[in-house]
Amino acid sequence: MKFDIVVVGSGIAGLSFALKSAKLGHKVAVITKKERSDTNTNHAQGGIASVMSKTDDFESHVRDTLIAGDGLCHEDAVREIVRSGPREITNLIEEGVKFTSLEDGSPALGREGGHSQRRILHVKDYTGRAIEEALLKSVEGNPNITIFEHHFAIDLITESKAKSFIHGGEDKIVGLYVFDTKNSSVKTFQTSVVMLATGGTGCVYLYTTNPQIATGDGIAMAYRAGAEVANLEFIQFHPTALYTSEGDRFLISEAVRGEGAVLRNAKGEAFMGKYDARKDLAPRDIVARAIDSEMKRLGSPHVWLDITHRSAEELKNRFPQIYDHCMGLGIDISKDYMPVVPAAHYMCGGVRTKLDASTSIRGLYACGEVACTGLHGANRLASNSLLEAVVLSSNAAKSVDEYLRENKDTLHEVPLWRDGDLRNSDERVILQHNMGELRRTMWDYVGIVRTTKRLERALNRLQNLHREIDEYYWNFKVEPDLIELRNEVLVAILIIKSALSRHESRGLHYTLDFPEKSPNIRDTILHKETF
């Protein structure tokens, strides 16, 4: 199967890039392992941050981003992405996204933690879903784009893997192996460009706000192919996921605190003032650690989020999804406090890219949560994620267009997938047990507060698990659970190795063994030879 470009993932990053590339005349395949709308984007409630009012300015947004990133942001990336925001918001509106507006037609801007101004464009509390629907509608009407649902990317094919690599040359992308889950067969895609837009890694943890697709596939594939990955120790735990005894973690948007909600401990005390002058609107790393501290101090399973000063009518209008979900659990948020806890939410690191989304492998690009551009630093500012995705997808489309024109008619023959005499696994229960062990280990040992001893214990356990899973992978035919588990355990080990190498506390990485910041500010960069 031959395409100019193969996009892995169908969220805002992948679809935006596919649309822009298709409009430049390229034949694009979009592969997604579930339904086309099963994405992290579809679960994004809060919105997209951009300077859109006369009382705001780029310098303010840049400053807020740098402060939240705790000294590790790349200022050039921050400035380019922030300044490109209004242009990309206009593009989204042209694609059919109808942001919530005021009576005069101007956007109704929300405020979230870490922001000094109201600058969050939103569609009530289902912004991601509205963007996803608009982009899918445009994609489905474009003849240059083919969507492959229920197709699971297994591994990248590079020249070196295809055995056509000339010694001393530069490795590059020539294809991709993809598992067709409906037909239980592996397809070989031949292409000069792969765009990884696979989202995050939340499912390596026991409790996450992410959908079950967020298994770190893009980071794992890129790393195995030899690409650089960066800053994987910076896992953002969203401070306010709805607590249930069943373990589900429905996201309660930061926008709720932006509209005046207050965090209270088990005694009903508003506690954020003890931890930060910005109180409930402090950046997420500070709020998550404060909640963790209050829960441990009082021995409580959760804290409370209080927005009872707002009327039911106001809350139904501004947060219809949250209001209805809580009401379904018997919680009237206009009268009752919401029980909330932190949960794994966002990977601030990822595949290391330039500002055109290119990676250290020619022809391999990454965009969205899977990528590390330098925007987020040690802690992502709320609602900067969708902003980064649309800006980088636009930059990438131009860069890929140039790359394809320079490398026209250079497609290489790629080896077809061979299963040989491998058999189907009859021990799927082992995969489920291994998955549970992995996620529990990450939650218990690689969480909001870390120690070297905990990280080393987690690493020992997961390296043993990695060996077992690797042996299993090569002895049986592939299937979705096995592919995900293989990716998750690799990404989990990379997270731990990154955390162990950072001998300081900065942003989302807080360790009791090194509680202070180091004067040596650096990114954590890993590639295959360092494993």
Name which residue leads in pLDDT, 35 or 51.
Answer: 51
Q: Smallest Cα–Cα separation from 372: which of 154, 101, 135, 77?
A: 77
Q: Provide the 8-state DSSP code for 226.
A: T
- For residue 270, the Cα-to-chain-centroid distance in whole angstroms is 31
Percent of the chain scored above 70 by pLDDT? 95
Q: How far apart are the C-alpha atoms of 36 and 147, rounded to whole Å?
A: 8
* Confidence (pLDDT) at 423: 72
What distances in angstroms separate CA 517 from CA 24, 207, 378, 504, one per listed residue? 46, 28, 12, 5
29: confidence class by pLDDT, cuts 50, 70, 90? very high
pLDDT of residue 420 exceeding 60: yes
Q: Smallest Cα–Cα separation from 357: which of 347, 371, 369, 346?
A: 371
pLDDT of residue 421 exceeding 70: no
Domain boundaries, the chain: 241-342
Q: Smallest Cα–Cα separation from 44: which of 179, 214, 285?
A: 214
Q: What is the pTM of this model?
A: 0.93
Size of the chain in residues: 531
Instruction: Enter the tokens of residue 117.
Output: 């101004």
Tens-place pLDDT, residues 239-284: 999 999 887 889 999 999 999 999 999 999 999 999 999 999 999 9
Tens-place pLDDT, residues 487-508: 999 999 999 999 999 999 999 9
Tens-place pLDDT, residues 142-196: 999 999 999 999 999 998 877 665 555 578 999 999 999 999 999 999 999 999 9
Mean pLDDT across 505-531: 91
Q: How far apart are the C-alpha atoms of 441 and 457, rounded to whole Å?
A: 9
Q: Smallest Cα–Cα separation from 235: which of 117, 100, 365, 343?
A: 343
| Catalytic residue positions, numbered | 284
Burial of 82 (0-12, 13-18, 19+ CB in 10 A): buried
Residue found by looking up tokens 């890039």 in the block? 17
Which CATH code, of 3.30.1060.10, 3.20.20.60, 1.10.10.10, 3.90.700.10, is assigned to 241-342? 3.90.700.10
Mean pLDDT across 80-105: 94
* Confidence (pLDDT) at 531: 44
Burial of 321 (0-12, 13-18, 19+ CB in 10 A): middle
Q: How far apart are the C-alpha atoms of 74 and 79, rounded to whole Å?
A: 9
Q: Smallest Cα–Cα separation from 134: which of 390, 392, 398?
A: 390
Instruction: Give residues with Cβ within 8 angstroms of 526, minimum separation 6.
Output: 223, 228, 229, 230, 232, 494, 497, 498
Spatial contact of 209 and 238, defined as CB atoms under 8 Å apart: yes
Mean pLDDT across 335-341: 97
Q: Which residues of 5-41 are buried (b: 16+ CB within 10 A; e: fewer)?
A: bbbbbbbbbbbbbbbbbbebebbbbbbbbbebebbbb
What distances in angstroms separate CA 257 from CA 150, 204, 266, 278, one per listed residue? 37, 27, 18, 12
Q: How far apart are the C-alpha atoms of 319 and 333, rounded to whole Å?
A: 10
Dihedral of CA atoms 472, 476, 479, 482 in degrees, nearest 10, equals: 0
* Confidence (pLDDT) at 477: 87
Helix, strand, coil % in the chain, rounded to nearest 5? 40, 20, 40
Q: How far apart are the C-alpha atoms of 159 and 165, rounded to whole Å?
A: 5
Name which residue leads in pLDDT, 239 or 34.
Answer: 239
343: confidence class by pLDDT, cuts 50, 70, 90? very high
Instruction: Enter the tokens of residue 491.
Output: 């990404």
* Confidence (pLDDT) at 69: 97
Mean pLDDT across 514-518: 97
